[in-house]
Structure 1
């Protein structure tokens, strides 16, 4: 089971790093590069068993709060052809935070159980 969670940590470290890289053309790219970069670092620390329980809990809660804050009232999907570019962008950002938050809660659960 430990190897499975190490694999999950590596996979999400790679995915979050890729998420940081593709933010280069975003209007608020620096903020999102930092967010995804931080999630990458936490994933690497998790993989190395160096992550303390409280850190992913706090980050997970903050990401969930960010999800609810950013989630557009009229969500129109993820494709720019689906609706207004601002609404689509907010939806993408909100769900990015939701994914980070859920992964952090998985890390927290695993750290607490081990």
Structure 2
């Protein structure tokens, strides 16, 4: 399980870096650089078994709250099929934050139960 967790964290570190890079043309790109950068950094720290449980839990809750805040009033999907671009963008951002939250929750769970073993 430990090897799986390290591979999982390595994959998500790369994915978070890539997601941050893709934000270069976003109007609020600095915000997303910080969000995806902190997730990538947390993933790298997790790989070296230095991520603290409190940090992983805090990030998980912050991302969950952010996902709730960004969720559009009326969900129109995530593909550009003639819907309102702002609602679609907010749905994408919300789902991205939800993915971050789930990954940080996994790290929290793994840290918590690796201490018992």
Shorter-chain TM-score range: over 0.9
| Structure with more of its chain in helix, by fraction | 1
The equivalent of 1:45 in structure 2 is 45
The equivalent of 2:7 in structure 1 is 7
Tell me how far 1:81 sits from its aligned partner. 2.4
Q: Tell me, which stretches of 5 or more residues in structure 1 are unaligned?
A: none
8 Å Cα contact 1:76-1:82 kept in structure 2: no
1:102 and 2:98 matched: no
Tell me how far 1:30 sits from its aligned partner. 0.8
Secondary structure of 1:80's counterpart equals: coil
Tell me how far 1:24 sits from its aligned partner. 0.2
Q: Tell me, which stretches of 5 or more residues in structure 2 are unaligned?
A: none
The equivalent of 1:113 in structure 2 is 113
Separation (CA, whole Å) in 1 of partners of 2:55 and 2:83:
36
The equivalent of 1:36 in structure 2 is 36
The equivalent of 1:66 in structure 2 is 66
The equivalent of 1:76 in structure 2 is 76
Tell me how far 1:78 sits from its aligned partner. 1.0
Per-residue displacement from partner, 1:29-77 (whole Å, max 9, x unpaired)?
1110111011000000001101000101011001111111110121111
- Deviating beyond 6 angstroms after TM superposition, the runs of 4 or more aligned structure 1 residues are none
Separation (CA, whole Å) in 2 of partners of 1:27 and 1:93:
13
Separation (CA, whole Å) in 2 of partners of 1:90 and 1:100:
15
TM-score using structure 2 length: 0.95
